[in-house]
């Protein structure tokens, strides 16, 4: 698998690259972010994987997850050009009125479309549509 992606052939050819990102919190108080970069939104052709470590992150605050997640996301996506889609682990909007969640904050930060896919329900996100795998019924 290719290493870090900066100006890849896909980016130079004008095709937009899609990224899926997640953050793992370290016992030391920092975080490690990972990104998978693909040639299309189906993620069928992975171009690269990369990670970045941030030594300190903000504590978790309900409804303000972005304060904790954005610094590691900035670090792992640093120096990338040509991104056309970002998939994050979190809500785009936290309620039907559009209170911004991680996805909306990432959209504002990076200026690209963002899909939010949260593993856990957020109490005010009554507008969110559950996506389940196979015969799963989803969790609460």
Q: Domain ranges for the chain, please list them.
A: 9-116
Closest alpha carbon to 127 in 108, 107, 109, 101: 101
**DSSP one-letter code for 31:** E
pLDDT digits (tens, 9 = 90+) for 35-88: 999 999 999 999 999 999 999 999 888 778 889 999 999 999 999 988 999 999
Residue 2: pLDDT band with limits 50, 70, 90: very low
Q: Model's pTM, two decimal places? A: 0.81
Q: Give the pLDDT confidence score for residue 111 in this predicted structure.
A: 94
Q: Which tokens belong to 136?
A: 């799963």
Q: Could you tell me the fold of the domain covering 9-116?
A: archaeoglobus fulgidus dsm 4304 fold (3.30.2170)
Q: Which residue has the tokens 């969110």?
A: 128
Q: Give the pLDDT confidence score for residue 81 in this predicted structure.
A: 85
């Amino acid at each position: 698998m290719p290493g870090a992606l900066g100006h890849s052939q896909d980016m130079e050819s004008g095709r937009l690259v899609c990224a899926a990102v997640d953050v793992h919190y370290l016992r030391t108080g920092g975080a490690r972010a990972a990104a998978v970069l693909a040639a299309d939104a189906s993620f069928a052709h992975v171009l690269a994987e990369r990670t970045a470590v941030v030594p300190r992150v903000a504590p978790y605050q309900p409804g303000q997850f972005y304060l904790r997640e954005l610094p590691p996301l900035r670090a792992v996506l640093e120096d990338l050009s040509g991104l056309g889609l970002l998939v994050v682990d979190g809500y785009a909007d936290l309620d039907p009125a559009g209170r911004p969640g991680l996805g909306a904050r990432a959209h504002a930060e990076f200026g690209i479309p963002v899909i939010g896919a949260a593993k856990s329900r957020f109490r005010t996100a009554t507008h969110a549509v559950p996506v389940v795998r196979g015969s799963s019924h989803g969790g609460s």
